[in-house]
Structure 1
Amino acid sequence: MSDPILSLRGVKTDIAQYHILHGVDFDVPRGEVTMLLGRNGAGKTTTLRTIMGLWTPRAGEIILDGARVDGLTPARLARKGIGFVPEDMGIFADLSVEENLRLAALSAPPTPERLEWIFGAFPALKTFYHSPAGTLSGGQKQMLSVARAMIEDRALYLIDEPSKGLAPAIVATLARALKDLKARGASILMVEQNFSLARALGDNAAVMDDGRIVWAGTMAELARDTALQERLMGLKMESA
């Protein structure tokens, strides 16, 4: 395993009176894709939101590039180079696609080269570049959400269930874009219920259950062990 860009050590997070994370420990290796897997309600989205500063952990450490970042605001974490694709997409419906992308570029306006790369990954965004984001289809909105994170190089991308509810053709488009991002050396932590997509993209996997990491290893090891998949996630996974 390569040098981790992100480490969680004993992270505990409460939401109101509910204890959601019960001491989460795992690493995200630099330049690799780590899939955060598990049953619904296991704590995956809460983990991403805690890393991004949307929830403040009551205990534990979150370490980015060797420095503790737990307790920082989402704005400060974004400036430290974390790109976040939330489950609810997080786009500005009243603004155009162009305005959404420009607002997401924190360091400088997007370069023509970067925009062409984005349009190559998501051609629909070029077609509707000047249209309000709220008029896009569900799949196109998800493309825009991912593109907002990709509009400039980030130290780390947090991506929460990008394929949820999307048609297979849109999932294939997203998969190609994320493979391209991976090929460019990105460090990615991604929550995903589509195991075929997780297997295609992931280098490593961490499986959650009841607010804890119950297994961690390579994605290849998990992908070839269907009994392990069923035991950890409670599902019979498709072999295709």
Structure 2
Amino acid sequence: MSDLTRDASASDPILRIEEVYTNIAQYHILRGVNLDVPRGGVTMLLGRNGVGKTTTLRSVIGHWRAHKGRILFDGEDITEMPTASIARSGLGFVPEDMGIFADLTVEENMVLAAVSGPIDAARLDWVFEAFPPLKTFWKSEAGNLSGGQKQMLSIARAMIEERKLYMIDEPTKGLAPAIISTMAHSLKDLKNQGASILMVEQNFAVAKALGDTANVMDNGRLIWSGEMAELASDEALQERLMGLSMEAH
């Protein structure tokens, strides 16, 4: 499927973005984005730098307000909903800038992220298994962690409770290969649990390994939607849609 028309059988997505326009100051960033995120699996949002991928995620969570269009999450219109209410409705967001509290301990960061109540012990054990350094530095201030450990904490904060949808913005950016491998393994485990994930990723190898469906943006619009396997198998299509900014290794 190389156009933007979704088949009618792909009904009832966990997230639906309809003709969304988002402006930041005098800049028109999103110019009519239409995107469906299916229930279950990983939906990749790809494209060159600066085409509107982060703005799309931030428009969904309410950090930046859509000036036009509609955003439906689990069937509910959240376009004008406050960010805190969107989060409480079951949407976990991992921003590119990590979004952790540097002056609080790892434990305190995790407790604050558990919006439904006390942390479930079994869920915490799973997080520790996915990211062992968090257990090691449980009582340490988050600001003292390495860059990779901070990114682990950022993702763990979203994963500490089961969410209807996880939106993750460039989780492997700037990380060493060993940390990228750990990150990818944990996200694959989350996917295998049946989670729905919308993910922005510049490392095409990671996108190819994790993604089920793919959406490519350019100039504030979606220009291609289809199966990740289709995009991954067509190098000419990759180059035409995304150029050389995508990491091929």
Q: Confirm or deny a common fold (TM above 0.5).
A: yes
Matched-pair contact (CA < 8 Å) for 1:230–1:236: no
Of 93, 108, 111, the match for 1:84: 93
Per-residue CA deviation, residues 68-87 of structure 1 (Å, 9 max, x unaligned), is: 11011110100110000000
Distance across 1 between alignment mates of 2:105 and 2:96: 20
Distance across 2 between alignment mates of 1:131 and 1:138: 14
Secondary structure of 1:4's aligned partner: coil
Matched-pair contact (CA < 8 Å) for 1:95–1:133: yes
Of 28, 43, 53, the match for 1:34: 43
- Residue 190 of structure 1: aligned partner: 199
Matched-pair contact (CA < 8 Å) for 2:202–2:246: no
TM superposition shift of 1:232: 0.3
Of 40, 44, 54, the match for 1:45: 54
Aligned length: 240
Secondary structure of 2:14's aligned partner: strand
- Residue 110 of structure 1: aligned partner: 119
TM superposition shift of 1:10: 0.2
Distance across 2 between alignment mates of 1:56 and 1:210: 18
Distance across 1 between alignment mates of 2:157 and 2:147: 15
TM superposition shift of 1:67: 1.6
Distance across 2 between alignment mates of 1:134 and 1:26: 36
Secondary structure of 2:101's aligned partner: coil
Task: Confirm or deny that 1:203 pairs with 2:212.
Answer: yes
Q: Quick one: percent identity of the two aligned structures?
A: 67
Distance across 1 between alignment mates of 2:41 and 2:124: 24
Q: Which range moved further: 65-74 or 115-124? A: 65-74
TM superposition shift of 1:32: 1.6
Alignment gaps of 5+ in structure 1: none
Task: Confirm or deny that 1:222 pairs with 2:222.
Answer: no
Does the C-alpha gap of structure 1 residues 118 and 24 become closer, same or farther in structure 2, counting only changes over 3 Å? same
Aligned CA-pair RMSD = 1.2
Distance across 1 between alignment mates of 2:96 and 2:103: 19
TM superposition shift of 1:235: 2.0
TM superposition shift of 1:3: 3.6
Alignment gaps of 5+ in structure 2: 1-9
**What TM-score do you get using the length of structure 2 for normalisation?**
0.94
Matched-pair contact (CA < 8 Å) for 1:229–1:236: no
- Residue 99 of structure 1: aligned partner: 108
Matches within 5 A, 1:117-136: 117-136=126-145
- Residue 164 of structure 1: aligned partner: 173
Matched-pair contact (CA < 8 Å) for 2:41–2:197: yes
Per-residue CA deviation, residues 42-74 of structure 1 (Å, 9 max, x unaligned), is: 000000000000011010010111121101111
One-letter amino acid of the counterpart of residue 121, structure 2: P
Task: Confirm or deny that 1:22 pairs with 2:31.
Answer: yes
Per-residue CA deviation, residues 79-122 of structure 1 (Å, 9 max, x unaligned), is: 11000000000000010000000100010111111111000000
Matched-pair contact (CA < 8 Å) for 2:48–2:246: no
One-letter amino acid of the counterpart of residue 180, structure 1: D
Secondary structure of 1:19's aligned partner: strand
- Residue 68 of structure 1: aligned partner: 77
